[in-house]
Each structure stands twice: as structure tokens, then as C-alpha cells.
């Protein structure tokens, strides 16, 4: 995300690099052709390297060539280019918002039913596995995680500001997003420092993912311009910017990553998959963080899928990785290790999950916090252009935050750019 290349250059560079070189973020070993090894494309920021290394330790002799391509959007762009050119990896991680456009072209992927997906699809949340199922019934992806929501906050910084530090008391500070903004004003007034990292992802992306309808209605019609949920979330983000409580650090940028450790902001909205990133970006802050309830109480941001492109040379090896790492017990183990919330409800009552306390986050009971955040969720439809639509809203909010856009004109500017981007 920190590389400021134009999109076309990004895609070209990624495609060439991924096709020709060793893994940018993980093992440099080449697939050995032994039927066990494979090439794997992932996106950055989620420490996929650790998962691959763990898999290789448990499966001696298997080589995984991991390439951390770029952001989730850049990875999807690179995959699109690779599918068109015929040079594809054996396995690819696709973020949930980017998945629908690939589901519309199931002929480009292995139908995982042929490898055994029919036998395991019942292991996953119905509304999650349905997102990777094409109209013809083809299953093109197996879900790796779901993005239950919460807020990570710095206890030490809250104490300095005279705010409560106990997670239950902190949660009571913001039953609504308006109350969250008011809390931020109090923090900034007391410390003269930013309260939250940014408005686009820590407010808009959270609020827009908390209702039953987002950019598409249940019938698949585009409604981003008329959805009250979207407009409310956008207005909340602009209100957050105007309150002067953001650090103006775009998520996943170098400044954002460094800011976690330096105390540049006290709060970051943290879906379950974000926890690993906080640990790796700010290792010296162990015990200074805690986790509170998200304003509104429930929601889901993110979640990803593992897919095998049609032209994969080692599909069985890739499928073996999927079945071993994404089984209910595999996902439970990954949650215990990294905090990524399982998509397999059979483990939601497992003592390893319900009893999980994360020492880095002041022994917060992450298992119950994140599963509770899913209980009140009414799943919304993710459409083929959800990623592009969301990005334009983020761009408009960020422009205002960075002083490059007019708050009063931001909504209309976003609508205009979305229509240009998707044609409707």
C-alpha cells in the first residue's frame, strides 16, 4: 500500500515479479515437481509466511513458494492479469470483497467439488461458503477466516488522557459511533494527540459492514448511491475527520505500521485478522493494548478464501494445503496462534476458543469478543464491484482527511468516481 505506483504499473510489475522470481515474502524454494509442492500467492499484512512455515514443519519434504504480492487489491489485480496470460500460481488467497468477480468466471478456477469440497462445505458458515459458490454450483474457494469486529486501544494512552482503561468500561464509552467520536474529542483535548488512526477504515469500513445491505440489495442490484447504511457510514467518517481526532495514517501504509508502536494513535478498529498485524508492527507494546466492543456491537469486515486457478500445475498439492490448514481444527489452531477467527462454527464452543486470552492484548478473551460480534450480524450481499465501490468511498474520505477534498462535496465526488469506475 505504501508504494505509489500507478495501478497499471503495479499490476504489470507484480505479474512479472510473481511469475519470474522467488517469493517476495516467504520461502524462496521452487516447487520440486514431486506432486507435494506448489506456488502460493498471498497478500501482505497478515503474516502468511508464518502459516506456510508451520505447514512445512508439519509436512517435511513439501516446498511452498510463497509470494506476498502486495495489498489484497493488488493481489486480485495480479491474479486477473495472470489468468489472462495463462501463467498462474497453484494457490491464491483472495480477499472477500474481491471474490465475487472471480466467482462470476468459475471456468478460470478448479471446481473444488472435484477435489472433495462437497464433503467439507458443511464445516463452514453457510453465508460464508455461499459467497464462493457460483450459480452453477461450482465451489471456487474455501474460506480461511471471518472478520468479526472489535476496537483495539492503548490502555497506557487512555490512562494519560484520564479515560477508563478497563475493557468493559471502555466499551460503555461508545455504544454508538457518535459516542465514539465524542470520546475521541475528549482524548484529543486532553492529550493534544490523535485518537484514531484514520476515518476511512476505522470508521467507514466498520460502520458500513454492520447492516443487512451494503452496496448491493439481496437481488444483486447496485444500491450504493441510495443505501441509508452506506450514506450513514460515510457521513460518520467525514464527521470523524472534521472532529480533528485522526492521525491521518492510511491503513497498511508504512507510517500507519510505525505509528502503532510510537503511540501516534490510541485506537484502531481491529477485525480479528488485524491482531497479528498489531503484534508484528508493534512488538514492544505487549500488554499496553486491550480490546473493546465495536460501536454498534456487531459486524464483519474481511475474511479471505483460498482458490486454485484452472491452470495450476500442482492442484492436488494445493488442495492438500487447504484441507490441512482450513479444517475446523486447523482454523482453531490458527486462531490460537494468530487471532484469525474461524469460519467453522463447530469450534465456537471449543474451550480453546472460548478460553483463549491474548497476553499481548492484556489477556483479552478474544474468542468470545469476536464470536459475539458475529451473533447479531445479518449478512449482506457482496457483489462483483464491491471492492471497487468501497475503494472510491475510502479515497473520497481520505482526500478530505488529507486536506485535498471538500467535505461538503465528498459524497457526490465518490458517487461520480464510482460510476466512472464500474459504469453504473
pTM: 0.83
Instruction: Collect all residues with Cβ–Cβ distance below 8 Å to 174 and sequence separation of at least 6.
Output: 151, 180, 183, 292, 295
Q: Which domains does the chain have, with CATH numbers?
A: 7-146+302-347 (3.40.190.10), 151-299+359-422 (3.40.190.10)
Considering the chain, what percentage of its residues have pLDDT values greater than 70? 92
Give the pLDDT score at 6.
Answer: 34
Which is it for strands 304-307 and 142-143: parallel, antiparallel or unpaired? antiparallel
Give the pLDDT score at 314.
Answer: 95
Give the pLDDT score at 9.
Answer: 35
Calpha distance 391→395 (Å, rounded): 6
- Give the model's confidence band at 33: pLDDT under 50 very low, under 70 low, under 90 confident, else very high: low
pLDDT of residue 95 exceeding 90: yes
| Structural contact between residues 140 and 111, judged by C-beta atoms closer than 8 angstroms | yes
Q: pLDDT of 201-236, one tens digit each?
A: 999 999 999 988 999 999 999 999 999 999 999 999
Q: pLDDT of 165-210, one tens digit each?
A: 999 999 999 999 999 999 999 999 999 999 999 999 999 999 999 9
Calpha distance 15→87 (Å, rounded): 9
Give the pLDDT score at 32.
Answer: 59
| CA-wise closest residue to 236 among 196, 191, 290, 274 | 196
Give the pLDDT score at 71.
Answer: 86
pLDDT of residue 375 exceeding 70: yes
Give the pLDDT score at 24.
Answer: 40
Give the pLDDT score at 136.
Answer: 96
Average pLDDT over residues 35-56: 89
pLDDT of residue 130 exceeding 90: yes
pLDDT of residue 20 exceeding 60: no
Which helix (H) or strand (E) element contains residue 307?
A: strand 304-307
What mean pLDDT value characterizes the chain?
90
Give the pLDDT score at 252.
Answer: 87
Calpha distance 183→178 (Å, rounded): 9
Which is it for strands 91-95 and 64-68: parallel, antiparallel or unpaired? unpaired
pLDDT of residue 101 exceeding 60: yes
Calpha distance 322→419 (Å, rounded): 37
Give the pLDDT score at 30.
Answer: 60
Q: pLDDT of 393-402, one tens digit each?
A: 999 999 999 9
Find the radius of gyration of the CA atoms of the chain. 21
| CA-wise closest residue to 32 among 311, 325, 313, 324 | 313
- Give the model's confidence band at 376: pLDDT under 50 very low, under 70 low, under 90 confident, else very high: low
pLDDT of residue 292 exceeding 60: yes
Give the pLDDT score at 339.
Answer: 79
Instruction: Collect all residues with Cβ–Cβ distance below 8 Å to 117 and sequence separation of at least 6.
Output: 111, 139, 142
pLDDT of residue 27 exceeding 50: no
Instruction: Please tell me what DSSP assigns to residue 108.
Output: G
Q: Hunting for cell 485518537 — which residue is that?
A: 195
- Give the model's confidence band at 16: pLDDT under 50 very low, under 70 low, under 90 confident, else very high: very low
| CA-wise closest residue to 128 among 113, 147, 149, 143 | 143
Give the pLDDT score at 222.
Answer: 96
Give the pLDDT score at 44.
Answer: 84
- 42-46, 217-221, 285-289, 360-364: the lowest-pLDDT one: 42-46
Amino acid at each position: 500500500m505504501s508504494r505509489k505506483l500507478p495501478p497499471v504499473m503495479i499490476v504489470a510489475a507484480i505479474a512479472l515479479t510473481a511469475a519470474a522470481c522467488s517469493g517476495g515474502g516467504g520461502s524462496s524454494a521452487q516447487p520440486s515437481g514431486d506432486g507435494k509442492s506448489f506456488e502460493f500467492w498471498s497478500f501482505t499484512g497478515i503474516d502468511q509466511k508464518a502459516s506456510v512455515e508451520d505447514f512445512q514443519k508439519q509436512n517435511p519434504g513439501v516446498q511452498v513458494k510463497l509470494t506476498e504480492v502486495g495489498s489484497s487489491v493488488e493481489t486480485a489485480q495480479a491474479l486477473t492479469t495472470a489468468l489472462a496470460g495463462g501463467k498462474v500460481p497453484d494457490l491464491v488467497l483472495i480477499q472477500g470483497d474481491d471474490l465475487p468477480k472471480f466467482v462470476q468466471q468459475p471456468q478460470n478456477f478448479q471446481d473444488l467439488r472435484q477435489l472433495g469440497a462437497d464433503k467439507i462445505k458443511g464445516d463452514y458458515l453457510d453465508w460464508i461458503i455461499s459467497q464462493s459458490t457460483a450459480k452453477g454450483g461450482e465451489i471456487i474457494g474455501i474460506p480461511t477466516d471471518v472478520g468479526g469486529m472489535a476496537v483495539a486501544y492503548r490502555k497506557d494512552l487512555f490512562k494519560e488522557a484520564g479515560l477508563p482503561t478497563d475493557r468493559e468500561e471502555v466499551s460503555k464509552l461508545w455504544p454508538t459511533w457518535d459516542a465514539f467520536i465524542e470520546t475521541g474529542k475528549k482524548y484529543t483535548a486532553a492529550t493534544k494527540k490523535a485518537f484514531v488512526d484514520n476515518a476511512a477504515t476505522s470508521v467507514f469500513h466498520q460502520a458500513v459492514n454492520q447492516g443487512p445491505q451494503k452496496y448491493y440489495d439481496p437481488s444483486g442490484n447496485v444500491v450504493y448511491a441510495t443505501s441509508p447504511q452506506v450514506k450513514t457510514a460515510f457521513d460518520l467518517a467525514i464527521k470523524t475527520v472534521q472532529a480533528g481526532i485522526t492521525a491521518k495514517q492510511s491503513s497498511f501504509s508504512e507510517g500507519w505500521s510505525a505509528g502503532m508502536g510510537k503511540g501516534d494513535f490510541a485506537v484502531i478498529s481491529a477485525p480479528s485478522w488485524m491482531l497479528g498485524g498489531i503484534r508484528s508492527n508493534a512488538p514492544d507494546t505487549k500488554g499496553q493494548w486491550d480490546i473493546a466492543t465495536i460501536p454498534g456491537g456487531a459486524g464483519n469486515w474481511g475474511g479471505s478464501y483460498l482458490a486454485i486457478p484452472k491452470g495450476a500445475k500442482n492442484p492436488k498439492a494445493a488442495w492438500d494445503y487447504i484441507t490441512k490448514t482450513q479444517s475446523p481444527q486447523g482454523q482453531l489452531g490458527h486462531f490460537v496462534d494468530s487471532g484469525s477467527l474461524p469460519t467453522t462454527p463447530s469450534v465456537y464452543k471449543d474451550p480453546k476458543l472460548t478460553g483463549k486470552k491474548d497476553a499481548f492484548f492484556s489477556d483479552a478473551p478474544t474468542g468470545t469478543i469476536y464470536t459475539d460480534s458475529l451473533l447479531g450480524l445479518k449478512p449482506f450481499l457482496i457483489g462483483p464491484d464491491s471492492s471497487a465501490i468501497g475503494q472510491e468511498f475510502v479515497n473520497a474520505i481520505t482526500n478530505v482527511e488529507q486536506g485535498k477534498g471538500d467535505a461538503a462535496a465528498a459524497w457526490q465526488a465518490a458517487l461520480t468516481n464510482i460510476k466512472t469506475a464500474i459504469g453504473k
